[in-house]
């Protein structure tokens, strides 16, 4: 049985796994946007899949919001569109996670400011608005992007 593992991230990935009958770990380097084929018995394929499902490995046809960046297909090589869809979903997941982290950070800041005001005998502010700016480390690169976002916490 053939197990195809695709790397839908923007960096190389070392796919580590164990086989039921062997003690030593195995690994394959998978460059970004590529896939590797593991040819092994069915029970070994299932064993490898079960090891990585906990960390977000999923069937290529079932990529979702919990997608880790690695997907698999059994006995069928994935086409370029499937890998590109995985890359797009991974990027979407990371952007959503980044947004949630920024919002939680502003909520936490607002809470700290409210607690400080209460400890000083003052009334908490009506809300907090934070502007987040991201600038490239190396602005000489042609593809360097900036980022600006305002997040408001209301009462």
Last residue of a domain, one of 68, 85, 102: 85
Query: CA-CA distance, 21 to 19, in Å (whole number)?
Result: 6
User: Does 6 share its domain with 80?
Assistant: yes
| 109, 112, 128, 151 from 117: Cα distances, Å | 12, 9, 13, 21
Q: pTM (2 decimals)?
A: 0.76
Tens digits of residue pLDDT in 39-75: 999 999 999 999 999 988 999 988 887 788 999 999 9
- Give yes or no: residues 77 and 125 share one domain: no
Last residue of a domain, one of 38, 64, 85: 85
Nearest-angstrom CA–CA distance, 123 and 92: 39
Quick one: 77 and 104 in the same domain?
no
pLDDT digit string (tens) for the chain, length 155 residues: 999 999 999 999 999 999 988 889 999 999 999 999 999 999 999 999 999 999 889 999 888 877 889 999 999 999 999 999 999 999 999 999 999 999 999 999 999 999 999 999 998 888 889 999 888 887 777 677 788 999 998 86
Q: Domain containing 137: what range? A: 94-154
Neighbour count for residue 42 (Cβ, 10 Å) = 10
115 strand-pairing partners: none
């Amino acid at each position: 049985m053939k197990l195809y593992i695709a790397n839908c991230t923007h960096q190389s990935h070392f796919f580590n796994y164990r086989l039921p009958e062997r003690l030593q770990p195995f690994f394959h380097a998978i460059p970004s946007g590529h896939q590797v084929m593991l040819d092994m018995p069915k029970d070994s394929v299932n064993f490898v899949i079960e090891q990585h499902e906990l960390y977000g490995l999923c069937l290529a046809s079932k990529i979702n919001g919990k997608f880790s960046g690695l997907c698999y297909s059994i006995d069928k090589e994935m086409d370029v569109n499937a890998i590109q869809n995985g890359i797009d979903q991974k990027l979407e997941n990371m952007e959503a996670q980044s947004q949630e982290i920024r919002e939680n950070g502003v909520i936490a800041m607002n809470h700290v400011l409210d607690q400080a005001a209460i400890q000083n005998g003052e009334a908490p502010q009506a809300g907090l608005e934070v502007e987040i700016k991201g600038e490239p480390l190396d602005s000489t690169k042609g593809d360097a992007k900036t980022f600006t976002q305002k997040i408001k916490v209301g009462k």
